[in-house]
């Protein structure tokens, strides 16, 4: 039995799709979600639907009962992740889960991104649990930057603070395929055999190159404008983003400038058995969709 936490989120739904495409029977998949009422479509696929609220540890024991494989998709509540993840890891240990996979951050142990701290602490919790595990250290989703395309087209500039840092992003679906591949192969025989996977896209690009591709495909001039981190955060807040999110995105761009979002090991494409989706293809699909 495979349990997916946050199964009705953007990544979780893609992992479910990938598992089904791999031939996993729907009845072997548990969609563990905070609000089952919002995941009726997953139940309609034949999945088991169970309540699993990171903030209510009492829901986790029943959610994980009978699980052999558990995918802990990191919480979206930055700043609250560690206690939430601790509750999941402790429940997984009580449930006797044979293998825990966790979506961490690329090179979390040496990443310059502020996001890394909670991931590093979670990885330590998992290691201390004694559970056989796989750390899926995911790089950036291409969609993270494509989300800025509408504003860039509207204002005639793509702004950021990543400088000349190269970004080896991949589509969210590529990372979902990696998670599914890990969950459908034999579990590590022991905690000592646990693995760390540094997952990133096959190629790299700068934000100036992304802006150039956007200009080419849209037929409009959209230059990249590099800003100091504080100015980029201020611009994001001025555009309506909540302060904490704006600060997080600006910090991540600054980390990218230091190489924090680049890796050329190609472990992701090796794991999924195909090349990762190039940034240009994701951009073309987005523009075609309007």
Is residue 1 over pLDDT 80?
yes
Q: pLDDT tens for residues 91-147? A: 999 999 999 999 999 999 999 999 999 999 999 999 999 999 999 999 999 999 999
**Residue 79, φ and ψ in degrees, nearest 5:** 100, -20
Is residue 13 over pLDDT 80?
yes
Is residue 224 over pLDDT 90?
yes
277, 170 in Cβ contact below 8 A? yes
Is residue 191 over pLDDT 90?
no
- Residues 204, 279: Cα–Cα separation, whole Å: 9
Is residue 258 over pLDDT 80?
yes
Q: Which residues, 6+ apart, have CB-to-CB distance to 37 below 8 Å? A: none
Q: What is the pTM of this model?
A: 0.96
Confidence of residue 30 (pLDDT cuts 50, 70, 90): very high
pLDDT for the residue 189: 85
pLDDT for the residue 82: 95
- Residues 61, 57: Cα–Cα separation, whole Å: 8
Q: pLDDT tens for residues 45-69? A: 999 999 999 999 999 999 999 999 9
Q: Does residue 259 come out as left (phi exceeding 0), alpha (psi in the -120 to 50 range) or beta?
A: left
Q: pLDDT tens for residues 78-95? A: 889 999 999 999 999 999
Mean pLDDT, the chain, integer: 96
pLDDT for the residue 176: 98
- Closest to 57 (Cα-Cα) out of 94, 103, 99: 94
Q: pLDDT tens for residues 207-216? A: 999 999 999 9
**Residue 103, φ and ψ in degrees, nearest 5:** -85, 100
pLDDT for the residue 188: 87
pLDDT for the residue 253: 97
pLDDT for the residue 62: 95
3-state secondary structure of 248: helix
């Amino acid at each position: 039995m495979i349990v997916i936490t946050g199964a009705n989120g953007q990544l979780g739904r893609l992992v479910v799709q990938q598992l089904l495409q791999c031939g996993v029977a729907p009845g072997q998949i548990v969609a563990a979600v905070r609000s089952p009422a919002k995941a009726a479509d997953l139940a309609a696929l034949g999945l088991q639907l169970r309540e699993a609220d990171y903030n209510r540890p009492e829901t986790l024991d029943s959610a994980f009962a009978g699980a052999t494989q558990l995918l802990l998709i990191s919480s979206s509540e930055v700043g609250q992740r560690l206690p939430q993840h601790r509750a999941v890891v402790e429940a997984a240990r009580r449930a006797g889960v044979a293998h825990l996979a966790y979506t961490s951050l690329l090179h979390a142990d040496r990443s310059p991104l502020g996001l890394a701290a909670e991931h590093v602490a979670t990885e330590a919790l998992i290691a201390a649990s004694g559970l056989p595990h796989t750390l899926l250290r995911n790089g950036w989703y291409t969609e993270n930057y494509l989300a800025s395309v509408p504003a860039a087209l509207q204002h005639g500039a793509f702004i950021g603070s990543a400088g000349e840092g190269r970004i080896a992003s991949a589509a969210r679906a590529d990372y979902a395929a990696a998670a599914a591949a890990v969950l459908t192969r034999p579990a590590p025989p022991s905690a000592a055999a646990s693995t760390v996977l540094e997952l990133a896209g096959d190629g790299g690009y700068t934000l100036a190159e992304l802006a150039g591709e956007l200009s080419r495909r849209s037929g409009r001039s959209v230059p990249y404008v590099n800003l100091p981190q504080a100015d980029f955060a201020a611009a994001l807040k001025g555009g309506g983003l909540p302060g904490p999110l704006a600060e997080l995105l600006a910090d991540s761009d600054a980390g990218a400038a230091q190489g924090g979002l680049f890796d050329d090991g190609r472990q992701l494409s090796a794991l999924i058995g195909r090349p990762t989706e190039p940034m240009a293809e994701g951009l073309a699909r987005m523009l075609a969709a309007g």
